[in-house]
Structure 1
C-alpha cells in the first residue's frame, strides 16, 4: 500500500465515524420541520411523489440511458481516480446549480419540475463516478450498488450503519444481484422517498421564498450534490482499497 492509500484509509476512518455519529442540532431541526410538513401533505401527494422516485430509479436500474459514454477506467490509480472524480463532481455541481437557480425563479410549478430533475442529475453523476473508479454500470449489481450509495447519502441516521455495512462487504453482497429485479420489488419506496426528502426539504423550502428562490435553489442543489459526491467517492474508495483485482 502506497502513502496515498494509507492517507485515504485514515480519512475513511474519520469519515465513517462522522457519518454514523448522532445527528446535530441543525439536522434534528430539519427533520422535525420535514416531519411536520409530511403530516400536512395528503396521502395522494405522497403516493405521487413515491411513484415519481420509483420510476426514475427504475429507469436508472434497468434502462440504458444513464450508462455513461466514458469508458470504464481500470488502469487509473486510486489517486488518479480521485482527481477525476472531483472534476466530474464539479461538473455535475455546476449543472445542478444552474438547474436549481432556474427553477428557483419560477415558484411552485417550476419547483415541482426540480424534484425529478435533481434526482436524474444525481443518478447520472453516480453512473459517471462508477466508471471513473473502474466499475462497469452495465452490470446489474453495480447499479444496485449505486442505489445503496444514494441511500447512504440521504438515509436517516438509523439506516446509515446498515447501508454502510453493505458497502463495506459488497464483494460478497454483489453476488446476490446478478440479473434479477428482486431488490426493486422488495424496496420500501415510500420510506425511501420520505428519507430522501427529509434530508433535503429544509434547503429546498428556501427555494420557494420569493426574492431569494434562485439563490437558495442554486445553493441547495450545489450542497446536495456535494454531499452525494462525498459519499460516492468514499464508497468507491472503500471498494478500491478492498478489491483484490486492484492490488
Structure 2
C-alpha cells in the first residue's frame, strides 16, 4: 500500500485517466441506430408498462433534488473500507485521505459486485421477452445510480449533497452520449471542482431537462437489447448485455471520480 503519494505518481495516474478519455470515441454507427428497437417497443408495449417506466423516470428525477428511493446507504461502502484498511473508525472525511490504490480497489470491488446483480436481473427478465424487458429498464437505471453513488463514496465524495448527485447524473449521461456530447461533459466535469458558482449553476441548470437525459439513457439500450426481446433466448442475451452496460457505467464512474480525486490531491500537495 502506498502511504505517501508523490506529485510525480499522481501526475502519472492522471495521465492514465487522460488516455482513457482519448479512447472515448462516442457511439459507433450501430449504437446510433440502436434506438430503432425502442421505436418498435413504443408501438407494441402495453400502456400500463409505459406508465410504470414513466413513474420510474419521475422517481429518478426527484433523485437530483432529494435523493429519493435511489439514495444509497453509506454502510456497505464503509464496511468495505474498514475491511480493506483494518480501520474501524472510518467516515467519508477519512476516506478522502486514503491512498489512491485503496480507493481504486474498493471501487473495482463495488463494480464487480454490481455486475453480478445486473447479470442475474438480465437473465431473469430475459425469460419473458420484451414485456419483462420493460421491467429491466427502470432496474438498470436504479442500479446504475446506486453504483455511481457507491463509487463516489469510495473516492470520498458524499452523494447526500445535491451537487454530488448532479455530478453522478452527468456521469450517467456521459455513458450514453455521442463523441461531441462526451467532450462537452468531460469539460464540464473537469471544471466541476473549481470555485466558480457560475460554472456550478450552469451545470445544474443543464440538468433541468433530466427527463431527456434519462430517456436518452434508456433509448441507448438500443439493439443491444433487441435479442433480449426473444423469450427464453433472452436469458443469455439479457445477462450479457446487463453485464456490459454495468461495465461501461462502472468504468466511466471510476475514471471520472478518480480524476477528481487526483486533481484535488495535486492541488493539496501544491498548497
TM bracket, shorter-chain basis = 0.7 to 0.9
Q: How does 1:67-146 map to 2 (within 5 A)?
A: 67-68=72-73, 69=75, 70=78, 71-72=91-92, 73-146=95-168
Once the two structures are superposed, the pairs formed by residues 211-226 of structure 1 within 5 Å of their partners are 211-226=232-247
The answer for the alignment partner of 2:214 in structure 1 is 193
**Do the aligned residues in 2 keep the contact of 1:50 with 1:193 (CA within 8 Å)?**
no
Q: What is the CA-CA distance between 1:161 and the residue it aligns to? A: 0.8
Correspondence for 2:32: 31
What runs of 5+ residues in structure 1 fail to find an aligned partner? none
Q: Does 1:13 align with 2:18?
A: yes
TM alignment of 1:138-217, pairs within 5 A: 138-172=160-194, 175=197, 183=205, 186-187=208-209, 189-190=211-212, 192-217=213-238
Greater shift in the superposed pair: 27-36 or 114-123: 27-36
Q: Which residue of 1 aligns with 2:84?
A: none
Q: Is the 8 A contact 1:4 1:79 kept in 2?
A: no
Q: Cα offset for 1:242?
A: 1.2
Q: Matched residue pairs, number?
A: 240
CA contact (8 A) 1:168 1:239 kept: yes
Q: 1:15 to 1:222 in 2, by over 3 A?
A: same
**Aligned equivalents of 2:260 and 2:244: distance in 1?**
24
Alpha-carbon spacing, 1:246–1:218, altered in 2? closer, same or farther (3 Å)? farther
Larger Rg: 2
- RMSD of the TM alignment (CA)? 3.1
The answer (yes or no) to whether the contact 1:144–1:177 under 8 Å persists in 2 is no
Aligned-partner Cα distance in 2 for 1:90–1:61: 29
Per-residue deviation, residues 165-220 of structure 1 (Å, max 9, x unmatched): 111111137846999xx648721523x23431343222111211234211100101
Alignment check: 8 A CA contact 1:89 1:125 kept: yes
3-state SS of the aligned residue for 1:241? helix
TM-score between the two structures when normalised by the length of structure 2: 0.77
The whole-number CA distance in structure 1 between the counterparts of 2:254 and 2:13 is: 11
Gaps of 5+ in 2: 1-5, 79-90
What secondary structure, in the 3-state scheme, does the structure 2 residue paired with 1:207 have? Answer: helix
Q: Which range moves more in the overlay, 70-79 or 160-169?
A: 70-79
- Does the 8 Å contact 2:126/2:232 carry over to 1? no
Within the candidate set 241, 255, 258, 1:237 is matched to 258
Q: TM-score, normalised by structure 1?
A: 0.83
Distance 1:138 1:174, change over 3 A: farther
- Partner Cα distance (1:184, 1:18) in 2: 25
Shift in alpha-carbon separation, 1:131–1:246, aligned structure 2, 3 A: farther
Asked whether the 8 Å contact 2:126–2:234 carries over to 1, the reply is: yes
Spell out structure 1 runs of 4+ moving beyond 6 A: none
Cα distance in 2, alignment partners of residues 173 and 28 from structure 1: 39
